[in-house]
Amino acid sequence: MSPPRLSTPEEYRKLVDSVDTFLLDCDGVIYHGPVVVPGVKKVLEMLRKENKRLIFVTNNASKSRRQYKATFDKLGIPVSENEIFGSAYASAVFLRKVLNFAEDKKVYVIGQDGLEQELESVGIKHVGGTDPEDRVFMDPFDFASIQPDPSVGAVLCGFDGWLNYKKLCKAYTYLNSDPNCHFLLTNQDKTFPTNGTTFPGSGSMSYPLVFALSGRREPTIIGKPNKHMMDAIIAEHQFDPKRALMVGDNLLTDIEFGINSGIRTLLVMGGVSLPEQVFGDNPSHVVPTYVMESLGDLAVLAE
């Protein structure tokens, strides 16, 4: 059965009145690259005037909330840091508030400075990541230099433009030598879109570890579509899931994320997923609660 396709002001008003918390994907919903989706600025302003809570949810683990706010500022969209929830921050919150990560332990990071900043924001120590010693290739077969550090209690993998064999060896050693060492991925995205094409994403970068440890260690995946990210968001923001709505352009991340979390979903067109995936002869198994052309269409309610 196809989901309702909202297209009238009356349908828009009924939906908005039923929601207290809007969980909004960023790229594809709020903007397309450097261009804001038409009408979205007016919609966000209207929702704020109606005292709706806005949470911007993204799987991008390369940026911290501070770095994301700079992106919003550049686009002329007013947001506060605590309204932004990327998979980097979600991973940090999950470690601190859900896993109660020990204060005397460190996280070994495969990732960039945005991920490190978010760990620091919740008081978690880290190694690896942007450490210059880990950004160089090790001498061939110098495996004796890779020794497990007993202070490392988790390995956290995100997008890492400096990924190399040395980092993979260190991460593998921690996970292989200590069954109590947590194994977390910020997200499982195979690719990410940029410059009109796609490139390998965070999930592709972590796959060597996942494959090497398969059958013995399985990672906890934080980002969309996994419920762990919603657990982290609710732990931080405390809202009623029954009065929330997940808005996204991707059936397999945003919409499945809402479904896995027991939250209503709104798919907007013009992004990753296509109309035929919802209304075609062979539709996706992931079915949103509602469909709209664009979040910007709600601007008619502000007129």
User: What are the residue numbers of the active site?
Assistant: 25, 27
**What's the CA gap between 22 and 16, in Å, rounded?**
9
Terminal CA-to-CA distance of the chain, rounded, Å? 33
Structure tokens, 77: 């969209």
Buried b (16+ CB within 10 A) or exposed e, 265-291: bbbbebbbbeeeebeeeebbebbbbbb
Is 104 marked within a binding site? Answer: no
Structure tokens, 113: 């400075």
Is 231 marked within a binding site? Answer: no
DSSP string, 6-61: --SHHHHHHHHHT-SEEEEESBTTTEETTEEPTTHHHHHHHHHHTT-EEEEEE---
The torsion angles phi and psi of 168, rounded to 5 degrees, stand at: -65, -40
Structural contact between residues 156 and 184, judged by C-beta atoms closer than 8 angstroms: yes
Cα separation values, 129 from 37, 59, 126, 155, 184, Å: 34, 18, 8, 11, 14
**What's the CA gap between 264 and 13, in Å, rounded?**
16
Reduced to 3 states, what is the DSSP secondary structure of residue 246? strand
The residue with tokens 């918390």 is 21
Is 131 marked within a binding site? Answer: no
Is 142 marked within a binding site? Answer: no
Structural contact between residues 117 and 64, judged by C-beta atoms closer than 8 angstroms: yes
- The closest of 44, 66, 68, 70 to 58, measured between CA atoms, is 68
Binding-site members for substrate are: 224
Binding-site members for Mg(2+) are: 25, 27, 249
